[in-house]
């Protein structure tokens, strides 16, 4: 008996797959995964790495955005419903946001006298995590390019890009993923109401124009080039989703629009820094980084002057005086909340702006700023 126990102890110490147990009559016996012949051991699945998850969900998100973009083109929000759990409040809110955006595109298109003929998105996943079995939280960037033409010139295409930062929860239900929550930097948050605008009058005025014969001078061209390179949604893939790393990104501190507008003027347009308008050691003066202070500084310093100020209905005719290198300041509730730099004109001479937060490249200056409470400040910059 002692020899048998000694043998058992030796086996336990030398073989990690061996276990032992006592039967009811206290006779000891050995069980081992190696000795089992009547059952098959199924190893637990190895969790996917974050890179593997990114690869898996890249296609899922691309397909989701392709469907969304198609729904915008077709003005068809209902086809998005299967991607949401409409019984879940936060999922319903996410769907209603997309539904509202589609309505806005329809209204703005009618006002502008254009039709969208193509929308394509590029996705870059930043982080992804399986929060619980079958539920994934994803942080990602999206760059979406829109193409449009005016109704009276269907063969002339115009393009712009919008960049958005997203957080989304996707839950697997069978072979499909459902959006249970989504938040993103919405470029249309201030654009829900076009009902008070006399669209026919505006449409006729826009249609009567064509792009002017305009060539920017060297300083202005450098400013344009800088803006297009570092806007975050550059057409150059080497700069897509990138800002200039020499400058701090102030988005986490409330917004980066004035900082970027200042960079465009200094790095591109070669405007010299001053005591009031300055950036060094990853910090900028108030006039450099704050939208209200930036507009005030540019005007009061004599480096810029007003073209017009007012609601869209009051300034849409004057906007045709804007040229690349100028900027638009957007006022809400008595305060300048955003700055965009004009960097182009479309086929009708309509001003196109480039900016940060949200990232825009050559976007019609009023797209996303259509609420009646918005006041536009059109500013001529003196290069």
pLDDT tens digits, residue range 280-297? 999 999 999 999 999 999
C-alpha 355/C-alpha 366 separation (Å) is 13
Output the pLDDT for position 35: 38
Phi and psi for 180 in degrees, rounded to 5?
A: -100, -20
Task: Give residue 8's pLDDT band: very low, low, confident or very high (50, 70, 90).
Answer: very low
Euclidean distance between the first and the last CA atom of the chain, given in angstroms as a whole number: 102
Output the pLDDT for position 272: 98
Looking at the predicted structure, is the pLDDT value of residue 236 above 90?
yes
Detail the DSSP E strand segments found in 133-175: 135-150, 158-173
Phi and psi for 244 in degrees, rounded to 5?
A: -75, 115
Looking at the predicted structure, is the pLDDT value of residue 69 above 50?
yes
Q: Is residue 26 classed exposed, middle or buried when 0-12, 13-18 and 19+ CB atoms within 10 A define those classes?
A: exposed
Output the pLDDT for position 50: 86
> Which stretches of the chain are DSSP H helices?
2-14, 50-74, 89-112, 199-207, 218-229, 257-263, 286-289, 291-300, 312-315
Task: Give residue 9's pLDDT band: very low, low, confident or very high (50, 70, 90).
Answer: very low
- Spatial CA neighbour of 311 closest among 292, 339, 338, 331: 331
Output the pLDDT for position 79: 95
Looking at the predicted structure, is the pLDDT value of residue 7 above 70?
no
- The residue-averaged pLDDT of 122-134 equals 95
Structural contact between residues 339 and 279, judged by C-beta atoms closer than 8 angstroms: no
pLDDT tens-digit map of 326-368 = 999 999 999 999 999 999 999 999 999 999 989 999 999 999 9
Looking at the predicted structure, is the pLDDT value of residue 36 above 70?
no
Output the pLDDT for position 193: 62
C-alpha 364/C-alpha 353 separation (Å) is 6
Q: Is residue 140 classed exposed, middle or buried when 0-12, 13-18 and 19+ CB atoms within 10 A define those classes?
A: buried
Q: Is residue 40 classed exposed, middle or buried when 0-12, 13-18 and 19+ CB atoms within 10 A define those classes?
A: exposed
Task: Give residue 167's pLDDT band: very low, low, confident or very high (50, 70, 90).
Answer: very high
- The residue-averaged pLDDT of 21-43 equals 44
Lowest mean pLDDT among 5-9, 108-112, 279-283, 307-311: 5-9
pTM: 0.86
Lowest mean pLDDT among 24-33, 82-91, 173-182: 24-33
- Spatial CA neighbour of 320 closest among 213, 169, 200, 211: 211
Looking at the predicted structure, is the pLDDT value of residue 190 above 70?
yes
pLDDT tens-digit map of 205-234 = 999 999 999 999 999 999 999 999 999 999
CA of 39: how far to CAs of 16, 34, 43, 184, 344, in Å? 19, 11, 13, 51, 72
Output the pLDDT for position 47: 76
Answer whether the bond into residue 358 is a cis peptide, omega within 30°.
yes
Longest dimension (CA), the chain: 107
């Amino acid at each position: 008996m002692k020899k048998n126990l000694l043998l058992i102890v030796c086996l336990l110490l030398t073989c990690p797959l061996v276990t032992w147990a006592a039967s009811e009559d206290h006779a000891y016996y050995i069980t081992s995964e190696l000795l089992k012949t009547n059952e098959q051991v199924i190893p637990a699945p190895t969790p996917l790495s974050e890179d593997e998850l990114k690869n898996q969900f890249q296609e899922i998100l691309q397909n989701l955005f392709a469907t969304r973009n198609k729904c915008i083109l077709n003005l068809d929000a209902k086809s998005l419903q299967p991607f949401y759990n409409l019984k879940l409040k936060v999922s319903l809110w996410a769907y209603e946001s997309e539904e509202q955006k589609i309505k806005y595109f329809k209204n703005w298109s009618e006002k502008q006298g254009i039709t969208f003929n193509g929308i394509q998105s590029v996705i870059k996943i930043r982080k992804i995590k399986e929060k619980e079995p079958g539920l994934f939280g994803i942080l990602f960037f999206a760059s979406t390019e829109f193409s449009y033409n005016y109704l009276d010139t269907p063969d002339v295409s115009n393009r712009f890009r919008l960049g958005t930062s997203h957080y989304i929860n996707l839950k697997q239900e069978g072979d499909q993923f459902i959006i249970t929550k989504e938040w993103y930097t919405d470029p249309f948050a201030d654009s829900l109401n076009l009902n008070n605008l006399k669209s026919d009058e505006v449409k006729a005025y826009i249609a009567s124009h064509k792009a002017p014969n305009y060539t920017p001078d060297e300083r202005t061209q450098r400013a344009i080039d800088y803006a297009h390179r570092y806007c975050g949604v550059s057409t150059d893939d080497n700069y897509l989703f990138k800002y200039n790393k020499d400058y701090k990104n102030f988005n986490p501190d409330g917004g980066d629009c004035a900082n970027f507008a200042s960079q465009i003027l200094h790095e591109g347009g070669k405007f010299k820094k001053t005591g009031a308008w300055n950036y060094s050691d990853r910090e900028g003066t108030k006039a450099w980084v704050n939208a209200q202070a930036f507009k005030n500084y540019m005007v009061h310093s004599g480096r810029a002057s007003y073209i017009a100020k007012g609601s869209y209905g009051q300034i849409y005719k004057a906007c045709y005086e804007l040229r690349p290198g100028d900027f638009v300041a957007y006022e809400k509730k008595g305060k300048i909340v955003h700055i965009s730099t004009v960097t182009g004109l479309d086929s009708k001479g309509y001003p196109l702006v480039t900016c940060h937060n949200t990232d825009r490249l050559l976007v019609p200056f009023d797209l996303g700023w259509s609420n009646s409470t918005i006041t536009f400040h059109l500013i001529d910059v003196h290069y």
